[in-house]
Amino acid sequence: MSLPLVNTLFHPFYAGEFEYPGAEKTCLVFGAHRDFQKPAEFNAKWTFVQSFKPDFAGLEKRGFDVRDSAPDETFDVALILAGKHRGQNERWLAQAVQHVKPDGLIVLAGGKTEGAASLRKRIESELPLGGHLSKNHGVVFWLKRSAEADAFAQAVIAQQQSLPLIDARFEAAPGMFSYERIDIGSRLLADNLPKQLHGVAADFCAGWGYLSVALAQQEAVARVDMFEADRLALEAAERNMQRLAPAMEISAHWCDLTSEKVERIYDLIVMNPPFHEGRAADPLLGQSVIRTAAAALKPRGRLFMVANKGLPYEPLLKSMFASCDTLIEDKGYRVYAAVR
């Protein structure tokens, strides 16, 4: 999250559109990054909703009250730092409406390149807005909780609870990685897994559970542990496994694999690690997960991994594993098989 977007969010306060909430007021914040900076003039009691573990942990470390989902209470003000996923932004707005007091203030800011202007126009076509401003290549708009806003929120929540299943099997939701279709890399990895895998397995960066289900279909796999930084995706993965592989023993771990240690040791790990955060590519993310995977495998344990073929993972894999082979290279991706 950039400082300009945070400044855009607070621009209506700076511009005098409304007063800063005092110390007796409460404020709920959606979408804040771990480096979020609040204005000194904003004295309200802060509560953050953050389901992405690195940001949750970063905010919590700085002393903020952080929840992985919206709490069962109402607030005077709700602030939203919108991202690139329209459905996720609409869900946050709906939750904000439902968690402010009657006539409570809701303020949303987003970047123009990420669709904030079109989001504002869409919301304005359904709800009366209090106003909008542009600042730092972004848009900020605001509204009050009203009967119309409540109806909008209920409609958004209902619509997102009835999304079609991916491949007629998998539940996912806006904001999750590849929430509308099975991504090419994960499908390539699943299609090229050996057929005689066995033992206790882990799915690192499990998302909504596609690879976990693929592991569960192997007769000799005894257990599948899922690790994922996105709490909502992890909960979807649990539901997908319970529905599609009900006999498999599973566990789910909300975990930042780039920085947190995995306690259990595994016979095999599958993974499609992230290589970007936001819009910026960062191969160090995947490299950190590779190191975590190497430490979590038994001697002779096996890692099966898919990655964009242009990413610099192979030298690290060969340095940390006894052997590393390419199973297949196709459609811009490479599937690796490594033995500890």
Q: What percentage of the chain exceeds 70 in pLDDT?
A: 97
User: What pTM did the predictor assign?
Assistant: 0.94
Going 142 to 145 to 150 to 153, the CA torsion angle's sign is positive
Would the pLDDT of 227 be above 90? yes
Q: So what's the pLDDT on residue 283?
A: 85
CA distances in angstroms from 298 to 120, 172, 196, 248, 332, listed in the order given: 52, 32, 18, 21, 30
Q: What's the confidence (pLDDT) of residue 276?
A: 67
Distance CA 302, CA 323 (A): 10
User: Which of the residue ranges 160-169, 193-202, 269-278 would you say has the lowest mean pLDDT?
Assistant: 269-278
The CATH number for 184-339, chosen from 3.40.50.150, 3.40.640.10, 3.20.20.80, 3.20.20.70, is 3.40.50.150
Compute the distance between CA of residue 28 and CA of residue 330 in angstroms, rounded to an integer: 45
pLDDT 10s digits, 23-40: 999 999 999 999 999 898
φ, ψ of residue 57 to 5 degrees: the values are: -65, -40
The conformation of residue 194, written as its DSSP 8-state character, comes to -
pLDDT tens digits, one per residue of 68-110: 999 999 999 999 999 999 999 999 999 999 999 999 999 999 9
Domain with CATH 3.40.50.150 in the chain: 3-160, 184-339
Q: What are phi and psi of 238, to 5 degrees?
A: -60, -45
State pLDDT tens for residues 103-128. 999 999 999 888 899 999 999 999 99
Contact 183, 166 (CB under 8 A): no
Quote the CATH superfamily of domain 3-160.
Vaccinia Virus protein VP39 (3.40.50.150)
